[in-house]
């Protein structure tokens, strides 16, 4: 029999091992979470360096999210077919290498392709790490372990834009991606040392028909949204081809899923009321989650001239709001009816979006700080109750697949609304430029009055005319951003009544 000291030493060793596993997996998850927001702060600098337009530069964000959305449902098959440890090792290697390649890109096409690889390789990291944490800890300690693990997801969006903004301003936008390499290598060493191998099932099959048709449908639809405004929508053959591909891929995916014995994604899960409603809420949550942190950096840097470091700090402040929301939920907010906390979260999102829609060209740093912080708080209040409602009626055997669909829908919503918001900004900005330009005339008394105050605004001479045209352009683009913020807040308010359709056990 083992002595008490031996049992204590064994328990201590097990606790230390579990702590090392948890620390490693938290670092891996934080690494993935950082990539979601790290490129946003440098978008204007990348735009200038690669000679890209506003809608083209959005491809860097949207195609990374799309790759994550499509690859996430493959996590279950990959871990079954090759084992959790092997999948995690190769995912970290692929993520680190693709991050380095992003920094070496010399054209927009290269950067978009490398970002796509980065998203695809990073997609398995959060669900795999979550599964390993759950298996490593006993039931009574899973809550505490998940709380620590969740901090990686929250801290990533806080650290990434703050540090990325400083590196981008001090060196160049390439260091935003290079900084991921040492973090990736540290994560890889931790995985190799502390994560044990998992039995693989070489006979596991993947529904390739469902996977490929879904990937084609999502990618084609996303490209159509990203490039539609620039290419004049259905008047361009590329957009028409993408629309046909998206509809065809979706048709094949739906019919195959309804007739296959083992579809890529099980449509029968939608028969659960809370799960179907949860997917709708997750889609709206995805619409709102990343759109502001994509629009705000371009607005501040282009129209107000803020440096990258300040913009990164602002995005980091948003992360502290999310951290506060998570902390509230972990300390007791989960005991409140989840419909009420979700309502509060979406209401905060809508209110902050409404105040953003009241911005003028002379907005201050404080205006942006408190509105983005409130948005972050809303995100923190929504996430935990949303997962509770969504999975409350699912059997344990369906949780993994249900989680894959959940994250796919959320990520797809994020990429869609980023593209839609940029299209709104470009189109309404152009329309308002044409409208405001009609007032630029020697017969306009208001213009003559302004000229008496600001001598640079004049129709006399090419230099003054160019300055006046630039100011009209700034005001028109600002109106475009305001319209995008109106779309944001209306979307947040619109979902609020549907939250109470969920069934919650008393």
pLDDT tens-place string over residues 86-109: 888 999 999 999 999 999 998 988
State the pLDDT confidence band at 7, using cuts at 50, 70 and 90. Answer: very low
- Please name the CATH architecture into which domain 13-196 falls: Up-down Bundle (1.20)
Tokens for 440?
């630029």
Q: What does the DSSP 8-state code read for residue 441?
A: S
Distance CA 121, CA 277 (A): 29
Residue 34 CA neighbour count, 13 Å, CB half: 25
pLDDT band at 444 (very low <50, low <70, confident <90, very high): low
Cα–Cα dist 243/221, whole Å? 6
pLDDT higher than threshold 90 for residue 348: yes
Checking if the pLDDT of 225 tops 70, the result is yes
pLDDT average, residue stretch 149-164:
72
pLDDT of residue 229: 78
CA-to-CA distance for 236 and 228, rounded, in angstroms?
A: 8
Give pLDDT tens digits for 167-187: 888 888 898 889 889 888 988
Q: Could you report how far apart the first and last alpha carbons of the chain are, in Å?
A: 48
Asked if 65 and 118 count as a contact pair (C-beta separation under 8 A), the reply is: no
Q: What is the rounded CA–CA span in Å between residue 155 and residue 262?
A: 38
Strands (E), 397-504: none
SS3 135: helix
Q: Where are the domains of the chain?
A: 13-196, 207-263, 268-506
Residue 10 reports pLDDT greater than 50: no
Q: What is the pLDDT, as a whole number, of residue 506?
A: 58
Q: CA 379 → CA 44, 56, 81, 205, 288, distances in Å?
A: 26, 28, 35, 36, 9
The neighbour count for residue 193, using CB atoms within 10 Å, is 10
Residue 409 confidence class, pLDDT cut points 50, 70, 90 = confident
Residue 403 has pLDDT above 80, yes or no: no
Q: Same CATH fold, 268-506 and 13-196?
A: yes
pLDDT tens per residue, range 431-442: 888 887 777 766
| Cβ neighbours of residue 481 closer than 8 Å, sequence gap 6 or more | 295, 299, 359, 425, 429
Residue 354: C-alpha distances to residues 16, 482, 485 (Å): 48, 9, 7
Give tens-digit pLDDT for 229-274.
777 788 888 889 999 999 999 999 999 988 888 888 888 888 888 8
Long-range pairs of 370-375 with CB within 8 A, sequence gap ≥ 24: 372/292, 372/293, 372/296, 372/314, 372/315, 372/317, 372/318, 372/321, 373/317, 373/318, 373/320, 373/321, 374/321, 374/348, 374/349, 375/288, 375/292, 375/318, 375/321, 375/348, 375/349
Question: In the numeric block, which tokens belong to residue 504?
Answer: 């919650």
User: Per CATH, which fold does 268-506 belong to?
Assistant: Growth Hormone; Chain: A; (1.20.1250)
- Token digits for 335? 């005991």
Say what the pLDDT of residue 80 is.
Answer: 79
Tally Cβ neighbours within 10 Å of residue 498. 13
Residue 270 and residue 255: Cα distance in Å, rounded?
15
Q: If you average pLDDT over every residue of the chain, what do you get?
A: 82
Count other Cβ atoms within 10 Å, centred on residue 23: 15
DSSP 300-340: HHHHS---HHHHHHHHHHHHHHHHHHHHHHHHTGGGS-HHH
Q: What is the pLDDT of residue 237?
A: 87
Q: Which residues of 372-408 are buried (b: 16+ CB within 10 A; e: fewer)?
A: bbbbbbbbbbbbbbbebbbbbbbeeebebbbbbbbbb
Query: CA 391 to CA 402: how far, in whole Å?
Result: 8
Q: What is the pLDDT of residue 146?
A: 66
Q: Report whether 110 contacts 60 (CB < 8 A).
A: no
**Residue 470 confidence class, pLDDT cut points 50, 70, 90:** confident
More confident residue, 135 or 85: 85
Q: What is the mean pLDDT of residues 121-149?
A: 74
């Amino acid at each position: 029999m083992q002595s008490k000291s031996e049992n204590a030493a064994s328990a201590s060793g097990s606790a230390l091992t579990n702590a090392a596993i948890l620390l490693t997996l938290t670092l891996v998850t934080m690494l993935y979470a950082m990539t979601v927001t790290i490129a946003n702060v440098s978008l204007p600098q990348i735009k200038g360096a690669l000679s890209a337009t506003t809608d083209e530069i959005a491809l860097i964000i949207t195609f990374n999210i799309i790759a994550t959305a499509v690859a996430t449902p493959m996590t279950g098959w990959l871990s079954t077919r090759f084992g959790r440890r092997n999948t995690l090792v190769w995912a970290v290697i692929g993520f680190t290498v693709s991050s380095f390649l992003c920094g070496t890109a010399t054209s927009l096409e290269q950067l978009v392709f490398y970002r796509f690889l980065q998203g695809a390789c990073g997609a398995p990291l959060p669900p795999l790490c979550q599964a390993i944490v759950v298996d490593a800890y006993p039931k009574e300690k899973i809550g505490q372990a998940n709380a620590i693990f969740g901090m990686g997801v929250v801290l990533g969006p806080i650290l990434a834009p703050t540090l990325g903004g400083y590196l981008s301003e001090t060196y160049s936008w390439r260091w935003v991606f290079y900084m991921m390499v040492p973090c990736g290598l540290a994560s890889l060493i931790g995985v190799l040392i502390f994560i044990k191998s998992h039995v693989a099932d070489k006979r596991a099959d993947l529904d390739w028909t469902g996977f490929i048709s879904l990937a084609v449908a999502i990618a084609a639809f996303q490209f159509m949204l990203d490039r539609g405004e620039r290419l004049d929508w259905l008047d361009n053959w590329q957009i028409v081809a993408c629309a046909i591909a998206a509809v065809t891929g979706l048709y094949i995916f739906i019919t195959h899923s309804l007739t296959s014995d083992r579809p890529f994604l099980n449509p029968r899960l939608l028969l659960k009321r809370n799960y179907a409603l949860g997917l709708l809420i997750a889609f709206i949550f995805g619409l709102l989650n990343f759109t502001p942190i994509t629009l705000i950096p371009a607005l501040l840097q282009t129209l107000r001239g803020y440096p990258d470091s300040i913009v990164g700090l602002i995005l980091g402040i948003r992360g502290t709001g999310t951290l506060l929301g998570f902390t509230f939920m972990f300390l007791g907010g989960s005991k409140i009816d989840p419909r009420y906390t979700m309502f509060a979260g979406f209401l905060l999102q809508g209110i902050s979006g409404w105040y953003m829609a009241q911005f003028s060209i002379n907005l201050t740093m404080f205006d942006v700080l408190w509105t983005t912080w409130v948005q972050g708080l809303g995100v923190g209040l929504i996430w935990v109750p949303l997962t509770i409602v969504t999975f409350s009626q699912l059997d344990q055997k369906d949780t993994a697949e249900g989680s894959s669909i959940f994250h796919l829908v959320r990520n797809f919503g994020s990429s869609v609304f980023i593209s839609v918001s940029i299209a709104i900004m470009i189109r309404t900005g152009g329309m308002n430029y044409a409208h405001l330009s009609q007032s630029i005339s020697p017969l306009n008394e208001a213009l003559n009055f302004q000229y008496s105050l600001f001598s640079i605004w004049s129709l006399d001479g090419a230099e003054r005319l160019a300055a006046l045209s630039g100011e009209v352009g700034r005001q028109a683009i600002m109106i475009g951003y305001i319209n995008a913020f109106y779309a944001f807040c209306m979307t947040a308010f619109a979902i609020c009544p549907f939250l109470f359709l969920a069934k919650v056990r008393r």
